[in-house]
Structure formats: structure tokens, C-alpha cells
Amino acid sequence: MRLEKQIKRQRQNRDWRVGNRVRGTSDRPRLTVFRSNKFIYAQIVDDERGQTLAAASSRQAEICPKGTNGGNTAAAVLVGKILAKRAIDRGIKKVAFDRGSYRYHGRVAALANAAREGGLEL
């Protein structure tokens, strides 16, 4: 099996494993993360109603002004703090962390730790 296929299968299995365990409810919505090479995105979703309750990304000018790198851990920390502030303003204190197919490492872990420091309970 070629390396690319093996990595794709590992990521797919990780995504299924995490997705089967994590569900967002009205009491405890789901904090989901998507990362690309350039940016990182996070949103809090209520799966029962199918609504996004709060969102933040490194593409937003107030988080990462033009000319700064939005794909590093510093940007992930900013996104986590801003998302936590927005969630607390809407009365959300507890969330279920959905890392998707990404390992809990690097930018994903930095975002989660910043959200914890911002007052969210993961």
C-alpha cells in the first residue's frame, strides 16, 4: 500500500472514530476545527438544531491582519481566545471538542488550550 493511501486511510479512520463519539447538543454544543495550510477555522455547532452558534477563523481581519501568517500556532491561539469570548457572550460555557481527522497536536492543541484559557470547558 502506498504511503499516501495509508495516511488517507488513517485520517479517515480517525475521523470516523472521533465523529462517532462526539455529538453536539443544546446543553453541550460541539466545537469543531478545520485547518488548512494557510488558515485555521473553528465553530461551535448545535447538532440538534443544525445551527452554528459562534465561529472564528484566522481569515478575519480583526484576528490576523493582512500580511500576518494565519496558519501557525500563534494564529490558532488567537482564534481559540476569540471563539471562547464569543461563546461566553452567548452563554455557552461547556463544549464537546471535535478535532475531526486531525491529531490533538500543534495548531489544534493550541486552539483547544486557548479556548480553555478563555473560559470554555472542553
The CATH code of the domain that includes 51 is 3.30.420.100
Domain limits for position 38: 3-117
* 56 within domain boundaries: yes
Asked whether residue 25 is domain-assigned, the answer is yes
CB atoms within 10 A of CB 59: 15
CB 23 within 8 A of CB 45: no
Question: pTM for the full model?
Answer: 0.84
Instruction: Give domain status of residue 122, yes or no.
Output: no
Host H or E run for residue 57: strand 51-57
Pairing of strands 30-35, 96-98: parallel
54: in domain: yes
Which residues does 101 contact at the CB level (< 8 Å), separation at least 6?
11, 12, 14, 15, 18
Q: What tens digit of pLDDT does each residue of 3-43 get?
A: 999 988 988 888 787 777 777 777 889 999 999 999 999 99
Compute the chain's Rg from CA coordinates: 15
Q: Is residue 13 part of a domain?
A: yes
Measured CA to CA, the distance from residue 53 to residue 32 in angstroms comes to 12
What total number of domains does the chain contain?
1
pLDDT class of 68 with cuts at 50, 70, 90 = confident
